[in-house]
Amino acid sequence: MDHTAHARAIAAFYADAEAPCTRGIALVGSTATGTDHPHSDIDLIAAADTDPGTRVLHREGRMVTITRKRPAELAASLTRPWESGAAVPAWRTARILHDPDGTLNDLQALARAWTWDDHATAADTWAASQLVGLAEEVHKIHGMLAQSRTRAAAANRLILALALPAPMAAAHRLLYGSENDLWDAVAHAAGPDWAAAWDLAAGTAPASPEAGCRAALDLYKLAAHRLIGHLDGSDRTVVDTARNL
């Protein structure tokens, strides 16, 4: 049995075990699409009216994550800009393992009919709002570099490198199968300046500590250039101040 078939057999085992106390169970992610590798985790989503939460288990050498959510929360993930980029493709390609009342089939139909047209304004508003909170990291990087606190500056540079791609994905109307696909998808959509800066900030390209920090600041500046038009008032002032640093 190859690794994908093995993973799907494990998923079926847990789906049978969870079925009596759920409204539906689906396999999502790389094991659902057949793009997994032998060490990929097995992601199961259980629609349940009680006991929401996540369990991480091991079976036959594979890690299994079972996430229980209420059906309304699963549906809401398709409308929230911070979730829809990953949730929509996940549900489009999900393998439904248990669905007695059609809850997950209905959700999959919604995902397959979903378009950015209905969510563009909310996506831009959310994406721009993320820059307001991340402005603090810009100030911290400048302060830590001025004090020669290299590790603290590096920590804040990594926060920017990891936090900015999600709002940029929303701004570029990207859908990505998992967080593993997010980084390359944004680098391709945002262009070579973004890709080069992200590689330096994240450490995938060699750079001195100061150069890596400056690259993270470039990422913020690029994101602000894309999104600041969706801010006004004090929020715009916060982002402009950080951008001008």
CA angle, residues 65, 66, 70, in degrees to nearest 5? 145
Give tens-digit pLDDT for 181-234: 999 999 999 999 999 999 999 999 999 999 999 999 999 999 999 999 999 999
> Can you give the pTM of this predicted structure?
0.91
The residue ranges of every structural domain in the chain are 3-114, 118-244
Superfamily of domain 3-114: Beta Polymerase, domain 2 (3.30.460.10)
Read off φ and ψ for residue 24, nearest 5 degrees: 175, 150
Give tens-digit pLDDT for 44-74: 999 999 889 999 999 999 999 999 999 999 9
User: How buried is 208 (Cβ within 10 angstroms: 0-12 exposed, 13-18 middle, 19+ buried)?
Assistant: exposed
- pLDDT, residue 1, reads 66
Could you give the residue ranges of the DSSP H alpha helices within 147-244?
150-163, 165-171, 179-190, 192-202, 209-227, 233-244
- pLDDT, residue 51, reads 85
| pLDDT at 151 > cutoff 90 | yes
- pLDDT, residue 163, reads 98
Terminal CA-to-CA distance of the chain, rounded, Å?
A: 57
Tell me the β-bridge partners of 24. Answer: 47
User: How buried is 51 (Cβ within 10 angstroms: 0-12 exposed, 13-18 middle, 19+ buried)?
Assistant: exposed
3 pLDDT band (50/70/90 cuts)?
A: confident
